[in-house]
Structure 1
Amino acid sequence: MSQRALVTGAGGFIGSHLVTYLRRQGWWVRGVDQKRPEFGETDADEFLVGDLRDPAVATAACEGIDEVYALAADMGGMGFISRDPATILHNNALINLNTIRAAQQAGVGRYFLASSACIYPEHIQDTPDATALREADAFPANPQDSYGWEKLMAELLCRYYHEQYGMEVRVARYHNIYGPEGTYDGGREKAPAAMCRKVALAPAGGAVEVWGDGSQTRSFCYVDDCVEGTYRLMRSDHREPLNIGSDRLVTIDELARLVFAAAGRDDLGIEHVDGPQGVRGRNSDNTELRRVLGWEPAVSLEKGLLETYRWIAEELAARGAA
């Protein structure tokens, strides 16, 4: 009988990709989310529609499970993060508290937490020329927003469940994951998806809006690399938090121009407008990732953006929007 995995947040972007990856590795997979995947059908063997803020849903989801991949989160782009801090902290704390308790009570053998680069201190991310973030930089703690504080609390929760109950825990700090089949409009989309949408909808000779001055920097990791790194981490014996992300730093203006190139739109310009920007610079230090897993993300930003742009452009065309 194949091993049984639970993916929480299986109706979301990374979660749905992870379900597919696990099935290809031979796992029986149960997904749980408030909704089924927005784009296409789930590959899960079983899908539970439910709200993990309810402890009973978490208990039902963990029943008969060998490993849990905890990806469920109330999350979005900078617009959502800056607008709804109390909602984010409240909902995500309940989701993670309920899920890890249910996993421990069900005797789950191994538990994965999807954490975030948002846990890193704001004061070491205050210039575009960002120093790559090492795992050891998390403390003294000073995350920028409520999402970062909640993820840091969830990391500590995993540590304490290991210390008190002996639960095997794995924690990844995701750095700006992007790719096809993710939210691209409505206010919760991340920067690469938003940029692809803007470019696909831009009129000939037009301009796309970039929040702020465009010199803020990020690194972006393609979703296929993210799920592979997640699985490799779960198969390892490493219990400490580990970055999963690209270490290639680009400005948001550079991101826009890469999407222009992916779309073949050399006619477009950039218009800088007011809007939330987050930290000025954020990059992943992959030294520990390479040491622990002997691996790091391999999909180039150019290739990943090309795949993402094509998918979003096709979605918009199917909706009659492009």
Structure 2
Amino acid sequence: MKKTVLITGAAGFLGSHLCDKFMAEGYRVVGMDNLITGDLKNIEHLFEKEDFEFSHHDVTKFVHVPGQVDYILHFASPASPIDYLKIPIQTLKVGSLGTHNLLGLAKEKNARILIASTSEVYGDPLVHPQSEEYYGNVNTIGPRGVYDEAKRFQESITMAYHRFHGLETRIARIFNTYGPRMRLNDGRVIPAFIGQALRGEDLTVFGDGQQTRSFCYVDDQVDGLYKLLLSDYSLPVNIGNPDEITILEFAEEIIKLTETNQKVIFKELPKDDPLQRQPNIEKAKEILGWQPKVSRSEGMKTTFQYFKSLSKEELFKSEHKDFSKHNRS
């Protein structure tokens, strides 16, 4: 019989690509999403597939999946500052209650679970590049704390289930990832820059633009996550591309890529915005035999073509999801 994998956050950017990967590898896939930030158009091409099933469900509520479940990938969470600043309580709940529910399901089903952690657990790092042994520099009560602490708690409870219950767990610390299906106006740097360029707007750089990021193309990211799930390693592993670039340099790359003549304008740096981001991926190389293959120039060409193919309506509309009903408890 085919093995079954449950993927939460399945209609999101990374979750949808993971659905594609596991379908291609011959698994039966159950995709779960409450569609707060996800979009069904990311997975609608899978609805006609016999081995794909979609469940519209909020994982902060009790999670039930009938039958055998072999693997769980927990990717349900807001992942952009625009989202988790608008729905801070839901962000904390999906990292805590949602993770607790899914760990309980994994225990019941005797399934292996991989949780999507983030480079944000390092906060504004005092160590560069960031290795898994670094404990971070995080402001627990700052505006970004709702996301950072949700993910740090997520790691803690996952390791508690591993140590106390002997549960098969995996923890991926994901660094900046990009590619097709990113939401155009979700506040992350790549869709923000490309959207501004396509609309003929000046590119907005926060601070002096000397803060750095390291961008990993989605195909590489998914390959690393797949290998981590099937590995025998239970401690956190950085999955990202160590090719570091300043935001100002990246803005200039976008202007060149899009063949536009926009200027760069500067605005005040948001509170607790990390000044450096670069993963140390020695563990991933050694344990998983993984490292990124897609260059930024190659990945950005594909990503730009995706955004360029969007309709004018999508290009010019603002992000207007109604989060009010999800932020009351």
What is the TM-score with the length of structure 2 in the denominator? 0.86
- Counterpart Cα distance in 2 of 1:175 and 1:263: 24
Q: Structure 1's 158 and 210: CA in aligned 2 closer, same or farther, altered over 3 A?
A: same
Runs (5+) with no aligned partner, structure 1? 126-130
Cross-structure match for 1:50: 57
Q: Deviation digits for residues 59-84 of structure 1, max 9, x if unmatched?
A: 23x7421100111113323x444565
Matches within 5 A, 1:1-322: 1-35=1-35, 36-39=39-42, 41-43=44-46, 45-55=52-62, 58-60=63-65, 63-77=67-81, 79-82=82-85, 84-108=87-111, 110-124=112-126, 131-138=128-135, 145-185=145-185, 188-202=186-200, 207-265=202-260, 267-276=261-270, 278-317=273-312, 319=314, 321=316
Q: Structure 1's 29 and 40: CA in aligned 2 closer, same or farther, altered over 3 A?
A: closer
- Counterpart Cα distance in 1 of 2:23 and 2:230: 15
1:145 partner amino acid: G
Question: Shift of residue 4 of structure 1?
Answer: 0.7
Contact 2:13–2:181 (CA under 8 A) maintained in structure 1: yes
Q: Structure 1's 313 and 171: CA in aligned 2 closer, same or farther, altered over 3 A?
A: same
Contact 1:10–1:31 (CA under 8 A) maintained in structure 2: yes
Q: Deviation digits for residues 8-38 of structure 1, max 9, x if unmatched?
A: 1001000000000111111111100013534
Question: Shift of residue 190 of structure 1?
Answer: 1.6
Q: Deviation digits for residues 127-171 of structure 1, max 9, x if unmatched?
A: xxxx11000002687676221111111111111111121111111
Question: Shift of residue 238 of structure 1?
Answer: 0.9
- Counterpart Cα distance in 1 of 2:43 and 2:27: 20
2:270 partner amino acid: P
- Counterpart Cα distance in 2 of 1:207 and 1:181: 23
2:116 partner amino acid: A
- Counterpart Cα distance in 1 of 2:14 and 2:315: 26
1:59 partner amino acid: H
- Counterpart Cα distance in 1 of 2:187 and 2:307: 12
Q: Identity over the aligned pairs, expressed in percent?
A: 28
Cross-structure match for 1:128: none
- Counterpart Cα distance in 2 of 1:209 and 1:316: 23
**SS of the residue 1:136 aligns to:** coil
User: Which deviates more from structure 2 when the two are superposed, residues 114-123 or residues 3-12?
Assistant: 114-123
- Counterpart Cα distance in 2 of 1:154 and 1:121: 15
Cross-structure match for 2:327: none
1:119 partner amino acid: V
- Counterpart Cα distance in 2 of 1:209 and 1:281: 18
Question: Shift of residue 275 of structure 1?
Answer: 4.8
What is the TM-score with the length of structure 1 in the denominator? 0.88
Runs (5+) with no aligned partner, structure 2? 318-329
Contact 1:74–1:92 (CA under 8 A) maintained in structure 2: no
Q: Structure 1's 282 and 201: CA in aligned 2 closer, same or farther, altered over 3 A?
A: same
